[in-house]
Amino acid sequence: MNTLFKICSVFILATLVLTSCRKDNYDEPESFIKGRVVYQGEPLQLRGNEAVRLQLYQRGYEKHDPVDVFVNQNGEFSICIFDGQYQLITKAGNGPWTSEGRDTIEINLRGTAVQDVEVVPYYLVDNAQITRNGNQINASFDVNKIAGTGIDRVMLLLGTTQFLSDGEHNVDRYDETENMADYAGGGKTYTFATRDYTDHQMFQTALNRGTLFGRIALWPSGSDQAIYSPVIRLD
């Protein structure tokens, strides 16, 4: 009886080991979906850091939860996934753009697929200028209205790396909220008052290291995200 029990136990253990090995030996995904979030073919400047995402669905499965596809601050995205038939769409209520044009994009993935996602932003930050004169910073940008109805605030962001956003700004973040109605219609240049950083320790440290960067952000009314300018290096 003991011998039979031992034989059965060994058989069960071997079956479990083989099953476990089969599960662990599944192929890793090797295909990619890559692209950009664009307006009229030009990529948008965003927050990055997993703040803006797209959603990817796969047909033919009972579990239809989406896979998040994160968009970086230059409007680019990439995901490694298995071949298959997918649907790509912007996440509702996420991003500095309207719900207009949230068409589902069909992707038949076989290896690599390159697919831009066209959106309609509320506003764009154009012709951004950030200049340093000694310890003083001047900044301005043009307001380009696309589909917006108002602006809550604009921000001047300074940091020691190129990863700058309303949440990442280890030197300074200055918010301007006055007279936003004057710029909501677009077609105007917004100018920040000159800011003096003579006594600002992090600013001086960044200058000494040669790692000072700036970026301008505009927060549309009703949006969960800001739209940004490109990052500008301030030597």
Domain ends where: 118, 147, 171?
A: 118
Is 112 in the same domain as 135?
Answer: no
Is 172 in the same domain as 90?
Answer: no
8: in domain: no
| pLDDT tens-digit series, residues 62-75 | 557 899 999 999 99
Higher-scoring residue by pLDDT: 215, 23: 215
Domain ends where: 93, 118, 143?
A: 118
| pLDDT tens-digit series, residues 91-116 | 999 999 998 867 899 999 999 999 99
175: in domain: yes
Higher-scoring residue by pLDDT: 129, 2: 129
15: in domain: no
% of the chain with per-residue pLDDT over 90: 78
% of the chain with per-residue pLDDT over 70: 87
Predicted confidence at residue 63, as pLDDT, reads: 58
Predicted confidence at residue 30, as pLDDT, reads: 84
Is 106 in the same domain as 168?
Answer: no
- With cut-offs at 50, 70 and 90, classify the pLDDT of residue 10: very low
Q: How far apart are CA 164 and CA 182, in angstroms?
A: 26
Rounded to the nearest integer, the mean pLDDT of the chain is: 88
Domain ends where: 118, 137, 157?
A: 118
Is 90 in the same domain as 142?
Answer: no
Residues in Cβ contact with 75 at an 8 Å cutoff, skipping those fewer than 6 apart: 36, 37, 38, 43, 44, 45, 46
Supply the pTM of this predicted model.
0.85
Is 138 in the same domain as 110?
Answer: no
Tell me the CATH number at 179: 2.60.40.2060
Is 113 in the same domain as 137?
Answer: no
Predicted confidence at residue 121, as pLDDT, reads: 97
69: in domain: yes
Query: Per-residue pLDDT for 26 more than 70?
Result: no
In which residue are the tokens 């400047």 written?
A: 45
Query: Per-residue pLDDT for 17 more than 50?
Result: no
Is 129 in the same domain as 182?
Answer: yes
Is 104 in the same domain as 70?
Answer: yes
Query: Per-residue pLDDT for 28 more than 90?
Result: no
198: in domain: yes
**213 lies in which domain range?**
123-233
Q: How far apart are CA 205 and CA 135, in angstroms?
A: 12
16: in domain: no
| pLDDT tens-digit series, residues 145-173 | 999 999 999 999 999 999 999 999 999 99
Give the chain's domain count. Answer: 2
Predicted confidence at residue 12, as pLDDT, reads: 39
Predicted confidence at residue 31, as pLDDT, reads: 92
Is 140 in the same domain as 203?
Answer: yes
Is 164 in the same domain as 142?
Answer: yes
Is 93 in the same domain as 136?
Answer: no
Tell me the CATH number at 48: 2.60.40.1120
| pLDDT tens-digit series, residues 187-199 | 999 999 999 999 9
109: in domain: yes
226: in domain: yes
Predicted confidence at residue 25, as pLDDT, reads: 53
Predicted confidence at residue 59, as pLDDT, reads: 73
Is 59 in the same domain as 130?
Answer: no
